[in-house]
Structure 1
Amino acid sequence: MIKPRNMMLLGLVLLILSPLVLPSYQITLLNYIGLYALVVLGLVLLTGVGGMTSFGQAAFVGLGAYTTAYLTTTQQLPEWLAWTAGSPWIALVFGLLLTAVVALLLGALTLKLSGHYLPLGTIAWGISLYYLFGTLSSMGGHTGVSGLPSLQLFGISLDKGEKIFYLIWAAVTGAILISRNLLNSREGRAIRALKGGQLMAESMGVNTFRSKMAVFLISALFAGLSGWLYAHTQRFVNPTPFGLSMGIDYLFMALIGGVGSVWGALLGAGVLTMLKQWLQDLLPILLGSDGQYESIVFGLLIVFMMQRAPGGLWSLVIRLIPARYQADTRLVVNDAAADLPRRPLPAQGTLVLEAMNVTRRFGGLVANNKMNLQLHAGEVLALIGPNGAGKSTMFNQLSSVDTPTEGEVRFLGQSLKGKNSRAVASMGMSRTFQHVKLLPAMSALENVALGAHMRGNQGVISASLHLEREEEQRLLKEAKHQLERVGLGAYLYEEAGSLALGQQRILEIARALCADPCVLLLDEPAAGLRFQEKQALSDLIKKLKTEGIAILLVEHDMDFVMGLVDRIVVMEFGEKIAEGLPEEIQTNPAVLEAYLGGAE
């Protein structure tokens, strides 16, 4: 049996031998595939993983290309640039710096957009940069710049496709390693969490804007590097390859290969490049050379493929490869790794969470009106009421997802005014969601490890260079511990989306516990569960209570609540109508009238 790693080594050897055995034309195609793959790798991270669609990546390619064209061909550089002496390697540094600055500025403007506004924003600045390239007279306008020098490396002139081939594919290999390292890390999980919803990610302590900016910057740098290589491969630059049309082609490459896969980027770049070439060669013979038949046929083929393989060609390839030849992508957990530090829990009975006259208005609608409640360490408090009572709104005030119009919420003695859900999570409050918010394609282990995001501090650079392995093992060990703690230890490597609803709700609790909270907020945890699943959930909550965690649960299932909690707060029409022990609530006339439909 051939091991997956050996198959990868075999592919690398074939790549190294390619310039020695293939004709120049084929090497040229491979060079273009490598250049395109660099850009598409960035799109896989940005669009496939981060969920942000960009049509403007070609403009970043242009920034890298035009920067080196200017620095290497201008006869009289400004004094502050004269020291570069036309060096392409210094131009690479300048190109990446310029690309990073522009990406940061554009990201600050567009990444706060959502829905269809984000891709429209990328179209806008992509077109703007394209026309900027064409209007710069110093850069030859639409005619372009010629006479770029060939690259020199270790005294060897990379003036032919066969020579620069190795540099292009070394850059692609490096980008693949960086991408894979990043995705299999704490920062990578944060980026992947963006597709699961910003509310969920922020509640786990993820700075979603920072994660968006990080992946946007990386994708732009990959594109800028591709532009630099393109310029010194062609030794000529004009605006044509950096317009919206090419930006759309890059997206097509990602979709064709598999927008969620690093290897799909290579496959998509190769298939699209070769397919275009074959159509351009074949269709004029069959249909004549009077029309753009290749564009028509190409478009129809893409539509057909998107219908038959919406996950891209890589997903089809994976299905065809026997399981024994596929790499084992499961994360290995080192049980000998050091434990993460834990926060000290407040003493039993300590007041940890308090709502004081909390009122929330939405225009003329009063969703919460002068709500008061208290939660103590080691206590289970239920917030119940009929549908529309304002429970979820109150839950959002307590977790800083929303801000009270009047009144105040205090957590561990501190006011939560001006604090967002991420800040509150770092203080020791964790939560689940009424509608389960998991990343279904990720394993249970990875989903739970996301909850420990705040307990790590290694950044994007460390993750990309694979320097955060020690911390990563500590985070994974904690995630495994929490899964075992809630009874899901046998499902470490199962996809979260394949678990039953009851298991998914327990999985959310494990993720919340991974943040090491002293207060746990559960939003309708028993909704949709069968009797035995409710029993398992009840046993888990009782266990957490004995460990000293304060738990507030929002529920409307009276049977589930009564034998579980210490106290109950009942809401109706946004107001508290009763508070007390379960047996008191069961006989309260106001509760029976409002919640149970009236006393007999």
Structure 2
Amino acid sequence: MKRRHLLPAALLVLGLLLPLLPTPEYWISLLNYIGLYALVALGLVLLTGVAGLTSFGQAAFVGLGAYSTAYLSLTYGLSPWLGLAAGLALTLASAWLIGAVTLRMSGHYLPLATIAWGISLYFLFGNLEMLNKYDGLSGIPPISIAGFELASGRSIYYLIWFVVLASVLALHNLLDSRPGRAIRALKGGGMMAEAMGVDTRHAKVVAFVMSALLACLSGWLYAHFQRTVNPSPFGLNYGIEYLFMAVIGGVGHIWGALLGAALLTVLKDVLQGLLPRLLGSSGNYELIVFGALMVALLQYAPNGLWPWVRRVFPPPARRGPPPEAEPLRTGGKPAAGEKVLEVKAARKQFGGLVAVNDVSFEVGAGEIVGLIGPNGAGKSTTFNLVTGVLPLSAGDVRYRGESIARLPSREIVLRGIARTFQHVQLLPAMSVLENVALGAHLRGEYHPRGGILASVLRLNRREEARLLHEAARQLHRVGLGEFLHVEAGSLALGQQRIVEIARALCCDPALLLLDEPAAGLRLQEKQALAGLLRQLRADGMSILIVEHDMDFVMNLTDRLVVMEFGTRIAEGRPEAIQKDPAVLEAYLGGVD
């Protein structure tokens, strides 16, 4: 057996045998708590580590799951399984509502909002007469499976850990899918994700709801394990501890949630017994140790402890191309002579600053047009107006006869416009193949806002095969076929720019917008890029390119549009632009 398989295999065998051996009941209870806490930490890995959204209120969703099943079991005598269904439904509705409101916030406002609603739900549990206020509910019946009651810690042990491992598998399946890549793209910035067709608001809510459902599952198991519930375990302190678990284990790693839950639970148990004896008085001194531990961890291991485990037991490396699959459907290309893009008196003002001043130009089918000018001329702002990143202050932008001036980025890319960025926007921890596959987000078989359940259950294999096959095809097309499974962040800057082009091509565009694609490329790489763009033009694709390398654009483009201070000052063929007095004035500061 390979070394990397030894530790998981040993832990699995040990976990299966422990309840059958004369193990102390205390150990079994401790492992049960680790499993319950790991479920909540798994949700925080998805929400915070993957999606980049911080929440301190997950303990409140644990309370929703616990109180739902406890109340229905005790008041109406319903089965715990019906209590689970009710808890999940209530959590789904409340998390969707809370997420739709709070996830619009950014910066420090979002964590503060999660603290606010977490505290609100905690006090709600403690003040409702029907929930027996702060005394809580007791005498909760055990879970029964096929007539066998899980009334002890040993008997419920297997159910808890089955749910934990099933949740780990479900998250693995989700993150290795099209919806999972959309959620992972959130951490790289909303602008790039939206430009690839991702509905970022919906993706945030999905991550939030799924993390809440995992917390609800933990609460349901907790209620029937403890057989009593009260508000104490669902307060802000526990919400902070759950976040500690995710961060200590490795907030960006699924297995890190289990590692963090185990370490913090065991450490807390040891410190609660040791510190009062050392200090001579009782109190929550372990929180002081946790705080010091967190500071040290953020200083010396900001990615948590799981990356250290992976160095000792590395996962199997992925090699080779993805399996052959049916090609994705492609859109129709514009006819020769068709006007693909029309920018008509486009204007953008930021307060009193006019960044783009009534700029007009066209791009025809199978044409490469360069947009050039000194720094600060408004070129990238014009790109952002065309792609919906910024709204127009006045004027119009038309694509193949249709006005797209008021459409969001994800609607524009759906129509056949794809782009790269002035500053490379890749997800460095994802493979090159996965980064490029993000460009095909809107070309999947499922609805772009759906497919979550299919991904979790791995029913999307055909879709995934087609998307990855298309991504690999585009990488071979741009000459990076040997880097499929390399982390994108490990590539040189010039290679990362080529990866961005491959990702844009994965969108199946008729119009490709390239923002300084030759920046950082060596001479041979520039020549290869120019050859690729000429081939794309020959295939009928239209290209609008912003570039500062004058030799590159002069030898490549059919026409040039020159901007200065947000205004178009010249337009024509490269040889005419080179002699234009206004252009020489802008670039050289004057002519003889």
TM-score by length of 1: 0.95
Q: How many angstroms does 1:537 deviate by?
A: 2.3
Question: Which residue, 157, 178, 184 being the options, matches 2:176?
Answer: 184
Hey, what does 1:376 align to over in structure 2?
A: 364
Q: How many angstroms does 1:383 deviate by?
A: 0.7
Question: Which residue, 88, 93, 100 being the options, matches 2:85?
Answer: 93
Distance 2:349 2:288 in 1: 55
Hey, what does 1:39 align to over in structure 2?
A: 40
Q: How many angstroms does 1:506 deviate by?
A: 0.5
Give a deviation string over 1:427-465, Cα, whole Å, max 9, x none.
Answer: 000000000000001111110011111100331110011
Does 2:326 align with 1:338? Answer: yes
- Kindly provide the amino acid, as one letter, of the partner of residue 133 in structure 1: F
Distance 1:427 1:463 in 2: 26
Hey, what does 1:73 align to over in structure 2?
A: 74
| Contact 2:348-2:355 within 8 A present in 1 as well | yes
Distance 2:321 2:89 in 1: 38
Hey, what does 2:58 align to over in structure 1?
A: 57
Does 2:242 align with 1:250? Answer: yes
Question: Which residue, 408, 411, 423 being the options, matches 2:399?
Answer: 411
Hey, what does 1:138 align to over in structure 2?
A: 130
Of stretches 589-598 and 524-533 in structure 1, the one that deviates more from structure 2 is 524-533
Distance 2:440 2:98 in 1: 31
Distance 2:330 2:6 in 1: 42
Q: How many residues align?
A: 587
Structure 2 residue ranges without an equivalent (≥5): none
Q: How many angstroms does 1:119 deviate by?
A: 0.9
Give a deviation string over 1:207-239, Cα, whole Å, max 9, x none.
Answer: 111111111111100000100110111111100
Hey, what does 2:347 align to over in structure 1?
A: 359
Q: How many angstroms does 1:412 deviate by?
A: 1.3
Distance 2:227 2:522 in 1: 68
Distance 1:355 1:303 in 2: 52
Distance 1:111 1:562 in 2: 46
Hey, what does 1:82 align to over in structure 2?
A: none
Q: How many angstroms does 1:146 deviate by?
A: 0.8
Of stretches 186-195 and 15-24 in structure 1, the one that deviates more from structure 2 is 15-24
Q: How many angstroms does 1:12 deviate by?
A: 2.4
Q: How many angstroms does 1:497 deviate by?
A: 0.7
Q: How many angstroms does 1:549 deviate by?
A: 0.8
Q: How many angstroms does 1:168 deviate by?
A: 0.6
Give a deviation string over 1:565-591, Cα, whole Å, max 9, x none.
Answer: 000001112111111000000000111
Hey, what does 2:118 align to over in structure 1?
A: 126
Distance 2:490 2:336 in 1: 38
Secondary structure of the 2:588 match is coil
- Kindly provide the amino acid, as one letter, of the partner of residue 15 in structure 2: L
Give a deviation string over 1:290-348, Cα, whole Å, max 9, x none.
Answer: 45433322322232223221111111111223xxxx33253874442111111121123
| Contact 2:321-2:484 within 8 A present in 1 as well | no
Give a deviation string over 1:155-213, Cα, whole Å, max 9, x none.
Answer: 11111000011111111011111100001111111110001110000000111111111
Does 2:294 align with 1:302? Answer: yes
Distance 1:599 1:490 in 2: 49
Q: How does 1:333-482 map to 2 (within 5 A)?
A: 333-458=321-446, 459-482=451-474
- Kindly provide the amino acid, as one letter, of the partner of residue 13 in structure 2: V
Hey, what does 1:226 align to over in structure 2?
A: 218
Hey, what does 1:159 align to over in structure 2?
A: 151
Q: How many angstroms does 1:35 deviate by?
A: 0.3
Does 2:554 align with 1:562? Answer: yes
Secondary structure of the 1:449 match is helix
Does 2:18 align with 1:30? Answer: no
CA distance 1:441–1:231, shift in 2 (3 Å): same
Of stretches 137-146 and 54-63 in structure 1, the one that deviates more from structure 2 is 137-146
Give a deviation string over 1:101-122, Cα, whole Å, max 9, x none.
Answer: 0001001111111111111111
Distance 1:392 1:206 in 2: 21
- Kindly provide the amino acid, as one letter, of the partner of residue 327 in structure 1: P
- Kindly provide the amino acid, as one letter, of the partner of residue 15 in structure 1: G
- Kindly provide the amino acid, as one letter, of the partner of residue 367 in structure 1: A
**How much identity, in percent, do the aligned residues show?**
60
Secondary structure of the 1:451 match is helix
Hey, what does 1:262 align to over in structure 2?
A: 254
Distance 1:292 1:521 in 2: 58
Hey, what does 1:80 align to over in structure 2?
A: none
Secondary structure of the 2:546 match is strand
CA distance 1:5–1:341, shift in 2 (3 Å): farther
Q: How many angstroms does 1:525 deviate by?
A: 1.5
CA distance 1:129–1:371, shift in 2 (3 Å): same
Distance 1:46 1:560 in 2: 43
Secondary structure of the 2:281 match is coil
Secondary structure of the 2:369 match is strand
| Contact 1:53-1:118 within 8 A present in 2 as well | yes
| Contact 1:349-1:379 within 8 A present in 2 as well | no
Does 2:104 align with 1:112? Answer: yes
Distance 1:99 1:118 in 2: 19
Q: How many angstroms does 1:424 deviate by?
A: 0.4
Of stretches 534-543 and 189-198 in structure 1, the one that deviates more from structure 2 is 534-543
Hey, what does 1:589 align to over in structure 2?
A: 581
Secondary structure of the 1:371 match is strand
Q: How many angstroms does 1:561 deviate by?
A: 1.0
Does 2:10 align with 1:14? Answer: no
Q: How many angstroms does 1:274 deviate by?
A: 0.2
TM-score by length of 2: 0.97
Does 2:579 align with 1:579? Answer: no
| Contact 1:333-1:473 within 8 A present in 2 as well | no
Distance 1:432 1:4 in 2: 39
Question: Which residue, 306, 310, 315 being the options, matches 1:318?
Answer: 310
CA distance 1:60–1:183, shift in 2 (3 Å): same
Hey, what does 1:518 align to over in structure 2?
A: 510
- Kindly provide the amino acid, as one letter, of the partner of residue 283 in structure 1: L
Hey, what does 1:81 align to over in structure 2?
A: none
- Kindly provide the amino acid, as one letter, of the partner of residue 440 in structure 1: P
Secondary structure of the 1:358 match is strand
- Kindly provide the amino acid, as one letter, of the partner of residue 14 in structure 1: L
Q: How many angstroms does 1:545 deviate by?
A: 1.4
CA distance 1:6–1:274, shift in 2 (3 Å): closer
Secondary structure of the 2:520 match is coil
Structure 1 residue ranges without an equivalent (≥5): 78-84
- Kindly provide the amino acid, as one letter, of the partner of residue 408 in structure 2: N
| Contact 1:351-1:375 within 8 A present in 2 as well | yes
- Kindly provide the amino acid, as one letter, of the partner of residue 17 in structure 2: L
Secondary structure of the 1:368 match is strand
Q: How does 1:165-244 map to 2 (within 5 A)?
A: 165-244=157-236
Of stretches 267-276 and 113-122 in structure 1, the one that deviates more from structure 2 is 113-122
Distance 2:12 2:481 in 1: 38
